Amino acid sequence: MSRTEGTIYCDGCGVEFSWGPIISGEHNYCCQDCLEGRQCGCGERMEMEENRRAGGEDQAAAPGTY
């Protein structure tokens, strides 16, 4: 189980996440894709959430950026 003082890390991709894990045996996963060994997008999801909390905006969504 990958927990550090209330923080959960996915045993599939390693991303730190804040929602409830998918538990399989002694392992925590951030999503069904990681549980099944597929690539996921949860790391990007967490980065976007952190940017919103910090008052920044997602560069991909910023007007005039390519």
Please check whether residue 17 is in contact with residue 7, taking contact to mean a CB–CB distance below 8 angstroms: no
Instruction: Give the span between the Cα atoms of 23 and 16, in whole angstroms.
Output: 15
Per-residue pLDDT of the chain (66 residues; tens, 9 = 90+): 455 567 899 999 999 988 899 999 999 999 999 999 999 998 888 888 888 888 865 455 545 544
Can you give the residue ranges of every domain in the chain? 3-58
Q: What is the C-alpha end-to-end distance of the chain, expressed in Å?
A: 40
Q: Which pTM was predicted?
A: 0.67
User: Vertex 45, ends 44 and 46: CA angle to 5°?
Assistant: 90
